């Protein structure tokens, strides 16, 4: 089988790049199963491709098959190459640029991670991701969708209806190679001691100020505590703010260290040394590093976001805290540092979460199962409502296949509705409630 993995247009800015690392992990897993996986960038030359080659060498990552330059002359060139190759399945692992490929993918099953962006707050039309997603969905729907947001139930209904007859689409999760991250637990130390590994998400000054306001007082009060901060770029505005605030003229030896984020191969060692993993805000590399920290059995602290509940169950796999609230993060960090049993339980659950849902081998297998199902439907006019495959634990796919917004309002009254609701976990129920509330509001309820 031949799989086309689409990379986003944006240039990776650090070795710890979500789109690059998720795509490479996916390609490795497919290759191990005996399938060919080509990674393709819409930029062709320059941009992501030049950075990609350098980072593969620097990070010691394998070159899988032929690193082609399809798309160098734009959409037409990509379409010609695509027809020559006759791919069986297309994968959008992460990031933007998806709308460039749609003319080449008509009739070919493809997977993408749309569950987060589809559920963004209504009215966020200025966000680049929302605008790009809407343009992509407009191409699928074959009509202009002016006035709709990415979270609109009416937009989702139109898109779902179109997808059932024109192409097969499946929501999938990114994954990591969990065997690279043996469960390390917490290094031996007394309560309150140890190192906290932080990922500085984003390059804006306010991101740096937040981390400085959080870490500074803790370093003064707790002399046995140290922080290691990873930044996408050591010269970014956020990194400079942190360095100026915490580096100081005479910082305590070993208490604080700021460095540029290393390649993926260095993560296991960094995670083994720390007692907790802290992400004050998500930026480049945030989700990949989070899954790796969870795979290592570390307690994690993350900010609230529309999609974080897909990965971290609050108070079960880690602490989900109000974004931008220094005091909330401080209290959460102290809870983990001062309660070793609680930290160990969170870390154990976090690793179990990755084992169950985010092992790249399993996410790749579910994509292949989807392809097998799609192949069986060719020539039958598209998928039936009953025939769509469901991924493990993917309630969103089940809801979408069952009619989406049109049946959700009467879900509890419908046949089997109560049984379905009873099987949902707490975070899934919360996820469902947020979407249904939004759909009800947008429909004038």
Q: How far apart are CA 233 and CA 301, in angstroms?
A: 22
Give pTM, 2 decimals. Answer: 0.71
Task: Look at residue 253 and give its three-state secondary structure.
Answer: coil
Query: What pLDDT was estimated at residue 50?
Result: 60
pLDDT tier, 442 (very low <50, low <70, confident <90, very high otherwise) = very low
Task: Look at residue 155 and give its three-state secondary structure.
Answer: helix
Instruction: Decide which of 275 and 88 is more confident.
Output: 275
Q: Report the chain's mean pLDDT, rounded to a whole number.
A: 67
Q: How far apart are CA 144 and CA 175, in angstroms?
A: 34
Query: What pLDDT was estimated at residue 417?
Result: 43
Render pLDDT for 200-209 as a digit per residue (tens, 0 to 9): 877 889 999 9
Instruction: Decide which of 139 and 408 is more confident.
Output: 139
Q: Is residue 103 pLDDT above 60, yes or no?
A: no
Q: How far apart are CA 324 and CA 319, in angstroms?
A: 14
Query: What pLDDT was estimated at residue 363?
Result: 81
Task: Look at residue 248 and give its three-state secondary structure.
Answer: coil
Largest CA distance in the chain: 72
Q: Is residue 230 pLDDT above 70, yes or no?
A: yes
pLDDT tier, 23 (very low <50, low <70, confident <90, very high otherwise) = confident
Q: Please tell us whether the domain made up of 179-357 is placed in CATH 3.40.50.2000.
A: yes
Q: Is residue 321 pLDDT above 90, yes or no?
A: yes
Query: What pLDDT was estimated at residue 64?
Result: 41
Query: What pLDDT was estimated at residue 320?
Result: 93
Query: What pLDDT was estimated at residue 106?
Result: 57
Q: Is residue 122 pLDDT above 90, yes or no?
A: no
Query: What pLDDT was estimated at residue 305?
Result: 80
User: Poorest-confidence range of 219-228, 244-253, 259-268, 382-391?
Assistant: 382-391
Q: Is residue 261 pLDDT above 80, yes or no?
A: yes
| Closest CA relative to residue 435, chosen from 412, 408, 413 | 408
Mean pLDDT of 3-24: 71
SS (H, E, C) 165-223: HHCCEEECCCCECHHHCCCCCCCCCCCCCEEEEEEECCCCHHHHHHHHHHHHHHHHHCC
* Percentage of residues of the chain with pLDDT beyond 90: 20
Query: What pLDDT was estimated at residue 228?
Result: 93
Render pLDDT for 26-78 as a digit per residue (tens, 0 to 9): 888 888 888 888 777 655 454 555 656 665 555 555 444 333 444 444 556 66
CB contact set of 77 (below 8 Å; sequence gap of 6+):
44, 70, 71
Render pLDDT for 289-315 as a digit per residue (tens, 0 to 9): 999 999 999 999 999 886 787 788 889
Query: What pLDDT was estimated at residue 154?
Result: 46
């Amino acid at each position: 089988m031949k799989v086309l993995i689409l990379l986003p247009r944006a240039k990776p800015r650090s070795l710890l790049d979500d789109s690059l690392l998720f795509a490479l992990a996916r390609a490795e897993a497919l290759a191990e199963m005996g399938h060919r996986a080509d990674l393709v960038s819409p930029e062709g030359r320059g941009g992501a491709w030049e950075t990609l080659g350098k980072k593969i060498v620097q990070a010691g990552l394998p070159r899988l098959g032929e690193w082609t330059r399809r798309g160098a002359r734009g959409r037409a060139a990509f379409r010609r190459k695509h027809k020559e190759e006759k791919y069986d399945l297309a994968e959008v692992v992460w990031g933007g640029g998806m709308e460039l490929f749609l003319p080449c993918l008509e009739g070919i099953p493809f997977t993408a991670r749309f569950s987060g962006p589809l559920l963004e707050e209504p009215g966020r039309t200025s966000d680049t991701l929302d605008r790009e997603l809407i343009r992509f969905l407009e191409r699928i729907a074959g009509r202009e969708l002016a006035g709709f947001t990415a979270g609109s139930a009416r937009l989702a209904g139109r898109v779902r209806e179109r997808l059932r007859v024109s192409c097969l689409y499946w929501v999938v999760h990114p994954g990591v190679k969990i065997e690279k991250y043996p469960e390390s637990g917490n290094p031996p130390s007394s309560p309150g001691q140890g190192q906290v590994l932080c990922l500085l998400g984003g390059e804006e000054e306010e991101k740096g100020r937040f981390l400085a306001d959080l870490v500074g007082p803790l370093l003064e009060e707790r002399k046995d505590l140290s922080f290691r901060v990873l930044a996408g770029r050591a010269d970014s505005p956020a990194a400079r703010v942190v360095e100026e605030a915490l580096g100081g003229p005479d910082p305590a030896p070993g208490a604080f260290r700021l460095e540029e984020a290393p390649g993926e191969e260095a993560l296991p060692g960094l995670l083994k040394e720390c007692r907790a993993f802290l992400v004050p805000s998500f930026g480049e590399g945030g989700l990949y590093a989070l899954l790796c920290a969870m795979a290592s059995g570390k307690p994690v602290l993350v900010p609230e976001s529309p999609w974080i509940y897909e990965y971290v169950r609050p108070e079960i796999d880690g602490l989900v805290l109000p974004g931008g609230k220094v005091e909330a993060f401080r209290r959460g960090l102290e809870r983990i540092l001062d309660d070793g049993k609680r930290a160990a339980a969170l870390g154990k659950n976090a690793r179990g979460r990755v084992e169950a849902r985010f092992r790249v081998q399993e996410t790749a297998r579910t994509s292949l199962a989807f392809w097998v199902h799609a192949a069986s439907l060719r020539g039958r006019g598209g998928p039936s409502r009953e025939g769509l495959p469901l991924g493990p634990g993917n309630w969103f796919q089940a809801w979408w296949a069952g009619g989406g917004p049109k049946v959700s309002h009467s879900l509890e009254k419908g046949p089997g509705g109560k049984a379905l609701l009873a099987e949902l976990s707490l975070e899934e129920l919360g996820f469902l409630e947020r979407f249904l509330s939004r759909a009800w509001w947008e429909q004038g309820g």
